[in-house]
Amino acid sequence: MNQNKLLVKLENAGVQRTSKWLVKGISFEISQGQIVTLIGPNGSGKTTTAKMILNIMSADEGQITKNTHGTGCTLSSAITTLFSCGKSLKNACELGIKYVNSAILTNPKYGKGHGPINHINSISINRKFR
């Protein structure tokens, strides 16, 4: 696996509510294989920044580049499918998360914003066509 594959990039991102900026001017990149920790005092914007990355909260300025559109629906569908096929709930969750992580890492990079994940990342065709 490519350890330098970019997963998310924030460029001068910020969230404003009424006339107050919750966070402003946030810029950084997260690549595959990195472990990132947001450190700061209460009220400094750690949760707001995480919510922007996860698309729970929209940025009011700047740009967030990632291809994670569909992760929530895909994860819930994967867990439900695996659980209904007899996997334990814990195992279904673990396998579902692994599937979605792989789908994010192999995304097709369509568009400039929140592009789709690669839903067919784990399909292999064992048949040879003539």
Rounded average pLDDT over 108-117: 69
pLDDT > 90: percent of the chain: 30
Angle at 17 between CA 14 and CA 21, to 5 degrees: 45
Average pLDDT of the chain, as a whole number: 82
pLDDT > 70: percent of the chain: 85
Residue-wise pLDDT tens digits, 31-71: 877 888 889 999 999 999 988 887 788 889 988 777 667 77
> Does pLDDT of 86 surpass 90?
yes
Which backbone phi and psi does 20 adopt, to 5 degrees? -110, 130
Cβ within 8 Å of residue 67, ≥6 positions away:
104, 107, 108, 109, 110, 114, 115, 116, 117
Residues paired with residue 11 on neighbouring β-strands, in sequence order = 63
* pLDDT value of position 107: 77
Residue-wise pLDDT tens digits, 19-32: 899 999 999 888 87
* pLDDT value of position 2: 43
> Does pLDDT of 126 surpass 70?
no
Query: Cβ–Cβ contacts within 10 Å for residue 30, how many?
Result: 15
